[in-house]
Chains A and B, each alone.
Chain A
């Protein structure tokens, strides 16, 4: 299972774009990259998933370079409610098991 590395914490202000980068140097050919958000005392919530290039949904974008050894979660115009821990995970098409890393604690200030 690919190990992921993320910054432990990040600070931002309301209205700014936040980019969180995750390294996964040992990603396998059939691994997908998935990002989750977790608030205190809640389970992780799915944000976005991708395999390569760029994926965008209503809440975020995910950028994956050609070598797939890293990925960047982009949150446009964050608000105070985006203060949470963000986890990057990699998992294979046939591999259900997800191993969580440290995550990135994002603090958004007014």
Chain B
């Protein structure tokens, strides 16, 4: 089945540093990938839609300069949390879906998430 891989799975860093998270679709191409964040005991919150070869679309309230998204190929999207602070600590999850010809009824497949802890 479709596999989405995230790296790293866990990262701890000091306040003020930038952290890059990678999301790869391993056995399929995805023109669109999605980034979510999840706080403890809460549901997933969509942050942005990552579009291959174009700018990402951010949800309301999500700072685009804070969360930089790059979707340089059909199998890779990256999320960079810039100048991270403790309040950015969260569980970040990406998803992707096989798309053919711009349409798809295939389900989205999710990565296993990245636990980000900012000290």
Residues of A within 8 A of B (CB): 32, 34, 36, 41-46, 49, 87, 93-94, 96-103
Complex: A80 Cα to B81 Cα, angstroms: 37
- Bound: A93/B105 CA distance, A: 5
Categorize the interface residue count of chain B: 20 to 34
Contacting residue for A100 out of B4, B44, B91, CB 8 A: B44
In the bound assembly, the distance between CA atoms of A46 and B110 in angstroms comes to 8
Asked whether, in the complex, the Cβ of A102 is within 8 Å of the Cβ of B108, the reply is no
Query: Hey, which chain A residues are within 8 Å of B111, CB to CB?
Result: 43
Q: Is the CB of B110 within 8 A of A45?
A: yes
Grouping DSSP codes into helix (H, G, I), strand (E, B) and loop, the A interface class, with mixed when no group exceeds half, is loop
- Contact among A41, A94, A98 with B108 in the assembled complex (CB-CB below 8 Å): A98
Known pairs A43-B6, A46-B109 / 5 extra A-B pairs, C-beta < 8 Å:
A32-B105, A43-B93, A43-B95, A44-B44, A44-B110
Interface pairs A-B: 5 shortest CB-CB: A43-B110, A100-B44, A100-B43, A44-B110, A43-B93
